[in-house]
Amino acid sequence: MSRIVNIDVVDLRVPTSDTLLGSDPFHKKPNYSSILTTLTTDDGLVGTSVNFTAGAGNDWIAYGVKDLAQLTKGQDLEDFAADPGSFYKLLIDHHQLRWLADGVARMAIGSIINAMWDLWAKKEGKPLWQPLVDLSPEKIVQSIDWRYLRDVLTPEEALEILQKGQDGRADRRAHFMSKRGPKAYSTAGWLGLTDQQIADTINEMKTFGFDCFKMKVGQDLQHDRERLRFIRKTIGDDALMMLDANQIWGVDEAIAYTEQLAEFRPHWIEEPTARDDVFGYRKIAEALAPHGIGVA
């Protein structure tokens, strides 16, 4: 038995605004900061999570995590591993905290839950990704809150999809392990950086084997076109270029703007509009599909 006996929270601030690292159309001078949460069990295990913000409000999340300690201390890690969905519901469905809905509350809750997963992995002596990958289809479905999903996907339908995915699972896992995991990309194109700074980052990341690069767009169309022309030349024709607008546009604007960037062959555009606009994302995806541009 492993019970949570202590929660420690660190409000870590990083002054990235002086170099404009992390800058995008909305967050022009962010100070990329983090909440470092550690959970300790009575048998000495330590689980860690890192949750980041753009600076201001980092302390709000830190306070939220500390406040959630009263619901977390005494929790049994074995109970969490047996039914991770129940602990999620304990935090997310609190009869008063639930009123706060998305944003700070969910980020604080996520800090706790991620640290619990880290504890679980350490308890089993596995890398963090493996407890999730090892879950059976039945347990995955059991762990999901279906209240707001079942009108478009039922638990039974999800279970069928996951069970079909078991075919070839071992081969896929072996393939990724042989490559040391899925491919990663580098966010080289922060909006506030100069072309030379971006080129230096790209060339450095190439030496580590990166051939996928993400660029921030959305502040000015002409500037973006000039920069993407430069970026495409720098990364080469065979490398993947991805774009990220950080929700700066409305739906129709997102379509019109991104179409003007199609000649640079972006693989996809991330957050072209408000993250919760499901129908808007569908419209954007359908409009950009003929250009070979996906939506993330």
pLDDT digits (tens, 9 = 90+) for 198-243: 999 999 999 999 999 999 999 899 999 999 999 999 999 999 999 9
Neighbours of 239 (CB within 10 A): 18
Q: What is the mean pLDDT of residues 85-92?
A: 94
Range of the structural domain that residue 142 is part of: 135-181
Domain end position, chosen among 181, 196, 213: 181
**Same domain? 252 vs 160:** no
pLDDT for the residue 18: 86
Assign residue 81 the CATH number of its domain: 3.30.390.10
- pTM exceeds 0.85: yes
**Same domain? 176 vs 246:** no
**Same domain? 90 vs 49:** yes
Q: Say which DSSP state 55 is in.
A: S
Assign residue 238 the CATH number of its domain: 3.20.20.120
* pLDDT over threshold 90, residue 176: no
pLDDT for the residue 139: 96
166 Cβ contact list (under 8 Å, min separation 6): 137
Going 264 to 266 to 270 to 271, the CA torsion angle's sign is positive
Side by side, the strands of the sheet bearing 46-53 are 4-12, 33-41, 46-53
Domain end position, chosen among 103, 126, 149: 126
Number of structural domains the chain divides into: 3
**Same domain? 58 vs 116:** yes
Q: What is the pLDDT of residues 178-204, one digit of tens each?
A: 887 777 888 888 888 899 999 999 999
